[in-house]
């Protein structure tokens, strides 16, 4: 596995610096991934989970640490997901899958989507904002993380502001990243998320939103109003105010289409 890990790191680094095209990188990943046997007894394909966990974590690490590479990484993921490309078939977590399914990207992303590590640390802040930006870009392309958008807006706008102005600044910036990169898809969505005794109500609102557990024009309007207010609020930092003002302009432009 160590040689595979080194290969994955090399491929992703080459995509990030532009020395390897998304198409060529896809071929190299497929070669590194190899032709795995498909167990006839219904068990998972050996070693695939470990490989994919390493692969997606390396993608997310790069997106967080080098946000300027995110467009190249998204192009690479899109190339991996082209359905008519020859692809290995494997079984993971009991399901038959191919590269086009982007297997485990959701699980790996969820593992690290737990809020900013330290809102007083600039590096932690920038990594958290970059992660939100990257997941928003993926959502704009593939619709993968719509629920994460709701969580981010809820934290920033739907409950009482954080007692920590540093944390509130981070929350506003993270929410603005979703508007910047996935605003149109969010605006256009009317998706409502399942709830129940075993699921809870993951898309429920905070105190300021008691409507449907999902996307709604009135919820969008609430978020836009909150961005407007925070853009003028001197209690948060200047970067957060600037990001909020940019989000307002984007939302207005989307609403006028």
Give 47-77 pLDDT, tens digit per residue: 888 889 999 999 999 999 999 999 999 999 9
Residues 156 and 231 in one domain: yes
Strands (E), 21-97: 90-92, 95-97
Please check whether residue 200 lies inside any domain of the structure: yes
Higher pLDDT, 218 or 8: 218
Indicate the DSSP class of residue 214.
B
Please check whether residue 154 lies inside any domain of the structure: yes
Cα–Cα distance for residue pair 186/184, rounded to 1 Å: 5
Predicted structure pTM score:
0.94
Query: Of 140, 200, 128, 194, which is closest to residue 166 (Cα–Cα)?
Result: 128
pLDDT reading at 233 higher than 70: yes
**Residue where the block lists tokens 């020395």:** 19
Sign of CA dihedral 69, 31, 52, 76: positive
Residues 146 and 253 in one domain: yes
Total domains present in the chain: 2
Indicate the DSSP class of residue 192.
B
Domain span at 14: 1-112
- The answer to whether 240 and 169 are in contact (CB under 8 A) is yes
Cα–Cα distance for residue pair 233/111, rounded to 1 Å: 33
Confidence label for 31 from pLDDT (cuts 50, 70 and 90): confident
Residues 130 and 240 in one domain: yes
pLDDT reading at 213 higher than 80: yes
**Residue where the block lists tokens 């997901």:** 81
Residue environment code for 148-181, b if the CB has 16+ CB neighbours within 10 A, otherwise e: bbbbbbbbbbbeebbeebbbbbbbbbbbbbbbbb
Indicate the DSSP class of residue 92.
E
Residues 18 and 52 in one domain: yes
Please check whether residue 120 lies inside any domain of the structure: no
**Residue where the block lists tokens 């390396």:** 58
Cα–Cα distance for residue pair 234/129, rounded to 1 Å: 20
pLDDT reading at 3 higher than 70: no
Cα–Cα distance for residue pair 226/245, rounded to 1 Å: 10
Please check whether residue 118 lies inside any domain of the structure: no
Pair of tokens at residue 112: 């690290």
Cα–Cα distance for residue pair 16/137, rounded to 1 Å: 16
Cα–Cα distance for residue pair 116/108, rounded to 1 Å: 16
- The answer to whether 144 and 106 are in contact (CB under 8 A) is yes
pLDDT digits (tens, 9 = 90+) for 96-121: 888 889 999 999 999 999 999 999 99
Residues 183 and 245 in one domain: yes
Mean pLDDT of the chain: 92
């Amino acid at each position: 596995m160590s040689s595979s890990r080194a290969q994955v790191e090399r491929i992703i680094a080459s995509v990030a610096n532009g020395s390897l095209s998304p198409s060529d990188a896809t071929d190299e990943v497929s070669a590194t991934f190899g032709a795995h046997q498909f167990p006839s007894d219904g068990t998972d394909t050996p070693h695939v989970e470990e490989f994919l966990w390493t692969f997606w974590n390396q993608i997310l690490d790069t997106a967080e640490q080098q946000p300027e590479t995110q467009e190249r990484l998204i192009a690479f993921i899109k190339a991996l997901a082209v359905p008519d490309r020859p692809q290995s078939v494997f079984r993971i977590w009991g399901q038959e899958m191919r590269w086009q399914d982007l297997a485990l990207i959701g699980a790996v992303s969820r593992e690290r989507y737990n809020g900013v590590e330290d809102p007083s640390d600039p590096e932690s802040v920038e990594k958290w904002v970059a992660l939100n930006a990257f997941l928003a870009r993926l959502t704009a392309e593939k619709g993968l993380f719509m629920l994460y958008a709701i969580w981010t807006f809820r934290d920033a706008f739907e409950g009482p502001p954080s007692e920590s102005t540093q944390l509130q600044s981070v929350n506003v910036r993270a929410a603005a990243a979703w508007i910047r990169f996935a605003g149109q898809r969010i605006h256009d969505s009317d998706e409502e998320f399942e709830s129940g005794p075993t699921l809870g109500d993951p898309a429920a609102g905070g105190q300021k939103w008691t409507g449907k557990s999902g996307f709604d024009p009135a919820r969008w309007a609430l978020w836009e109003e909150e961005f407007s207010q925070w853009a003028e609020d001197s209690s948060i930092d200047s970067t957060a105010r600037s990001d909020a003002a940019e989000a307002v302009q984007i939302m207005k432009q989307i609403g006028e289409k």
